[in-house]
Amino acid sequence: MTVHEYPARRRRGWWLRNPRYLAFQLREAGGVVCALYGLILLNMLIQLRDGESAYAAFLNLLRTPPVLYLNVVLFALVLWHALTWFMLIGKAQPIQFTRQPLPWKVVFGINVLLWIGVSGAVVYLIFGGM
Amino acid sequence: MHADVAAPDEVLLEPVFWSLFSVGGFITAFLLPVMLFLIFFAAPFHLWPGDPAAYATFLAHWKEPLVRLFFFVLIGGSLFHGTHRLKFMLMDAGFKGPAAEALLDLILNGVAIFGSLGALYYALRGWLF
């Protein structure tokens, strides 16, 4: 049996033609930024092993203005990625505790509340509170 | 991917990496923003009483197994999630074909696997050995 593929063709810059497509691409980019931060956090552990001066140099580099403001932009992408993740949970896999699946906005609200709770728990359990 | 023409190893591996991507999505969504805020922005923007990332403070927390587990899970989840997304962004951008896909799998899955193993090593180092 011969299998034919019919690849979807898109014009260049398709994601700039509609705000929804742009939001989607920014979300995808946010996902990639998560991996970048994974590597940065891994590097943080390596610098921690190398001692106080290595760790302080790493932290100072992160806090120089160009890197800091670049981090603000990347952080915004990570936040957008998190928020859209909470939006899609109720759409991709409708949660059915009731006769009808819960509306995605309800699931989104529950996830945001959970997110706030989990973030508070991280502050206290991982970073020892304020 | 066509399930009817896919090689057996693809059928085995793709669900594994997709599951790690999906779990990584939950981990990064729930845990990464607060982590980045505390490490990168809390002290420089004077949004926190102290500096949660300062060497002495962080080193004291790092002695706790829960903190080490947290970092391992967060780093591994971020890497498996982000590399999977990057693969499909690059494929969308035209990096297609079996050879290109195999190369992307090799590099990106390699980064995710070795990065996670690295995080596991540092999480266990000084605690179990």
Q: Where are the domains of chain B?
A: 15-124
Question: B123 near B76, Cβ under 8 Å?
Answer: no
For residue A108, give Cα distances in angstroms to A11, A18, A56, A83, A111: 33, 24, 39, 8, 5
Nearest Cα of chain B lies from the Cα of A32 at a distance, in angstroms, of 4
Query: How many angstroms separate the CA of residue B81 from the nearest CA in chain A?
Result: 7
**Tens digits of per-residue pLDDT, B2-46?**
555 556 666 788 889 999 999 999 999 999 999 999 999 999 999
Count chain A–chain B contacts defined by CB atoms under 8 A. 148
Q: Is B126 helix (H, G, I), strand (E, B) or coil?
A: coil
pLDDT, tens digit, for every residue of A70-94?
999 999 999 999 999 999 887 877 6
Q: What is the least distance, in Å, from the CA of A53 to any CA of chain B?
A: 9
| Residues A14 and A21 sit within 8 Å (Cβ to Cβ) | yes
A36–B30 C-beta distance less than 8 A: no
Name every chain A residue with its beta carbon within 8 A of the beta carbon of B86.
31-32, 35
Q: Where are the domains of chain A?
A: 1-77
Give dist(CA A6, CA A34) in Å, integer: 32
Average pLDDT for chain A = 89
Q: Give the number of other Cβ atoms within 10 Å of residue A58's Cβ.
A: 19
CB contact under 8 A, B71 and A45: yes
Domain at B15-124, CATH from 1.10.10.10, 1.20.1300.10, 1.20.140.10, 3.30.70.920: 1.20.1300.10
> Contacts of residue B127 in chain A, CB cutoff 8 Å?
none
Reading the block at residue B124, the tokens are 């266990």
- In which element (H, E) is residue A116 found? helix A104-125
* ipTM of model: 0.90
Query: Tens digit of pLDDT per residue, chain A (130 long)?
Result: 667 766 667 777 888 888 999 999 999 999 999 999 999 999 999 999 999 999 999 999 999 999 999 999 999 999 999 999 999 887 877 666 777 788 889 889 999 999 999 999 999 999 988 7
What CATH number has the domain spanning A1-77? 1.20.1300.10
The Cα B62–Cα B42 span in angstroms is: 19
Using a CB-CB distance cutoff of 8 angstroms, which residues of chain A are in contact with residue B58?
48, 55
Rounded to a whole number of angstroms, the CA Rg of chain B reads 18
What is the maximal distance between C-alpha atoms in chain A? 65
